[in-house]
Amino acid sequence: MDIVLTGIKPTGTLHIGNYVGAIKPAIAASAARGVESYFFLADYHAIGGDAELVARATLEIAASWLALGLDPSKVMFYRQSDIPEILELQWILTSVTAKGLMNRAHAYKAAVDENTAAGADPDQAVMMNLYSYPILMAADILMFKAAKVPVGRDQKQHVEMARDIAQRFNHHYGETFVLPEAVTRDEVATLPGLDGRKMSKSYGNLIPLFADSKALRKLVMKIKTNSLEPGQPKDTEDSALYAIYRAFARPDETAAVRERYAAGIGWGEMKQLLFERIDAELAPARAEYERLIASPAEVEKLLLAGAEKARAVSRPFIAEIRKRVGIRRLAR
């Protein structure tokens, strides 16, 4: 079976763009035959910011994936920090990772370039968690012998680095790790935000995934449109409303709306249609999300159960890796 591993960093607020672009297709793919899916909350990767926000985001994002249909009985669903073997593997991998490889990481180079442009020391405020981030990500991937890692294009280099690290280890110590491949999907939906730019926390133009009906409608009504009046034919190509609607609707629904654009649908009418479509799809998950947020002990129990399943894999594998690098008992 192909092992597919997805890491979810517990930072920020999930929005509807995350849902249609990543969460919904990942959950659907986990049900495919011949696939063993691993989903984990990458909380160690989130260290460095506000500690309370990391803890809160861990609960919120775990509850979100569960509410949207991720079935922990059919996949591995765990919290990174509950698998101590991952950090042990990170250190072992550090011993075979060249500094030059880390110097080429995009995030590190961007930080150096920013400092240099400002006339500062190139490494000013560069923490080791940023510098060695690719090694921890490699440990996440290699520990569970993941063959495929779905990532955005900005993370593809990290998977390639994990592959380089695995090859170097295998060369020194014998065939141990599966060489992972990054899976990037060109058809991933990128939704426009309220102002027409890509929906993003940094732009402040997002629609939160579990906004209540009243807040959702208010936000949809704020989506930027042009000045065309009702009755005037409208183009779907540059319409944020249409792009978002298409991401939620069935093909036949989308075709019907395209005809209404040609007939001159009014923007207010289209916004109401969009609100109703989003609300209908997310309302059941919203109710389950709110229930789980109010029951953190239930979420914790599921994560700990997932960790036990995952450690049934990681414990024997780290024992094998230790022997390969010379960490062994001197006598039985």
Place of tokens 């390969």: 324
For helices 213-220 and 267-293, what crossing angle results, to 10°?
A: 150
Q: How many CB atoms lie within 10 A of CB 250?
A: 10
The percent of residues above 90 in pLDDT, for the chain, comes to: 88
C-alpha to C-alpha distances, 21 to 71, 192, 299, 328, nearest whole angstrom: 19, 12, 24, 45
Q: Where does the chain hold its CATH 3.40.50.620 domain(s)?
A: 2-189+296-325
Residue ranges, CATH 1.10.240.10, the chain:
210-291
Provide the whole-model pTM: 0.91
Amino acid at 319: A
Q: Which residue has the higher pLDDT, 86 or 200?
A: 86
Q: Which residue has the tokens 């921890």?
A: 136
pLDDT band at 43 (very low <50, low <70, confident <90, very high): very high
Please tell me the CATH code under which domain 2-189+296-325 is placed: 3.40.50.620
Phi–psi pair at 215, nearest 5 degrees: -65, -40
The whole-number pLDDT of residue 234 equals 96
Output 100 or 185, whichever has higher pLDDT. Answer: 100
Tens digits of per-residue pLDDT, 191-242? 999 999 999 888 899 999 999 999 999 999 999 999 999 999 999 999 999 9
CATH match for 210-291 among 3.40.309.10, 1.20.1250.20, 1.10.240.10, 3.30.365.10: 1.10.240.10
Distances in Å between the Cα of 107 and the Cα atoms of 135, 149, 192 are 13, 19, 25
Closest alpha carbon to 144 in 34, 43, 3, 35: 3
- Buried/exposed code over 15-42 (b: 16+ C-beta within 10 A; e: otherwise): bbbbbbbbbbbbbebbeeeeebbbbbbb
Q: What average pLDDT does the structure give for the chain?
A: 94
Output the DSSP codes for 102-155: HHT-HHHHHHHHHHHHTTS-TTTT--HHHHTHHHHHHHHHHHTT-SEEE--GGG
| Residue 136: other Cβ atoms inside 10 A | 21
